[in-house]
Amino acid sequence: MVLVRDSQDAPPRDAVELTEVTKVHPGGVRALDGVTVGFGRGSFTAVMGPSGSGKSTLLHCAAGLDRPTSGRIVLAGQDIGALREPKLTSVRRAHVGFVFQSFNLVDALSVWDNVLLPQQFAGTKPDRAWAKELLARVGLAGREKARPGELSGGQQQRVALARALAGRPAVVFGDEPTGALDLSTGREVLALLRRFVDELGATMVMVTHDPAAAAWADRVVFLADGRIAGELHSPSADKVSARMMELTR
């Protein structure tokens, strides 16, 4: 099974591509200042940087949750900078999955309904066989009827992972997806992210402040003061830590 359906004959190499993106927040803070970066299809990227360096703003702009002040953002082959609501929301729903630190499951719904919810919002026909396979892959086969409150934090995040992938998004964004988990549970979630990239061709972009988490990625992109401050390929936790020390000095 292949995760991403290609809608074009020659899909772009990058799932998301930002060119010279600047974001000035209301109040005048320049959170992003000429950021050019691409996230290759089937790759796993960690985004790191000191607090206030623009990580969340980058994620929100790349995901179509926020609009850049200037610059170009191409998501799944579409220039989303030019889009206004509600078109932006529909592109986001069709092409982006999210995993949050706080899981963000709907407590009143079963695991199964949580996984299918984004497709319902998107108005697409849910792919039940795929949802079932994803739940099996995250180790929750047979727990479809459970409520989130009956599950451990790690299990809830694994439901959120299945939910993020259920609509076969072009890219999954994670904002500190292991931030609320203990070390070994966090590692299980990271191993799943890694497997989704390696086995299903998923594209992952994960903000983290944890060098050990970043070391699961193919590449770490560093941000400082709203600008790209270098990257590391095949990162080790030690190299990531050293780089972060330089940036926060």
Position among 19, 22, 56, 104 found at the interface with Mg ion (CB under 5 A): 56
167: partner contacted, choices ligand ADP, Mg ion, none (Cβ within 5-8 A by kind): none
Residue (29 or 106) nearer to ligand ADP, CB: 29
Q: Which stretch binds ligand ADP (CB under 6 A): 19-27, 149-157, 177-185, 197-205?
A: 19-27
Q: Which two structure tokens, joined as six digits, stand for 199? A: 């086995």
Cβ neighbours of residue 51 closer than 8 Å, sequence gap 6 or more: none
What are the beta bridge partners of residue 79? 74
Whether the CB-CB separation of 68 and 17 falls below 8 Å is answered with no
Q: Which two structure tokens, joined as six digits, stand for 210? A: 């944890």
Please tell me whether residue 179 binds ligand ADP under the rule CB under 6 A.
no
x/- string (CB under 6 A) for ligand ADP, residues 23-42? Answer: --xxx-x-x-----------
Q: Which stretch binds Mg ion (CB under 5 A): 49-57, 63-71, 139-147, 218-226?
A: 49-57
Identify the three-state secondary structure at position 218: coil
Please tell me whether residue 69 binds Mg ion under the rule CB under 5 A.
no
Of residues 221, 233, 236, 237, the one with CA closest to residue 62: 221
List helix spans (H) across 11-110. Answer: 55-62, 87-95
CB of 57 to ligand ADP, least distance (A): 3
Please tell me whether residue 174 binds ligand ADP under the rule CB under 6 A.
no
What whole-number distance in Å separates Cα of residue 141 and Cα of residue 169?
Answer: 22
CB of 141 to ligand ADP, least distance (A): 36
Please tell me whether residue 56 binds ligand ADP under the rule CB under 6 A.
yes
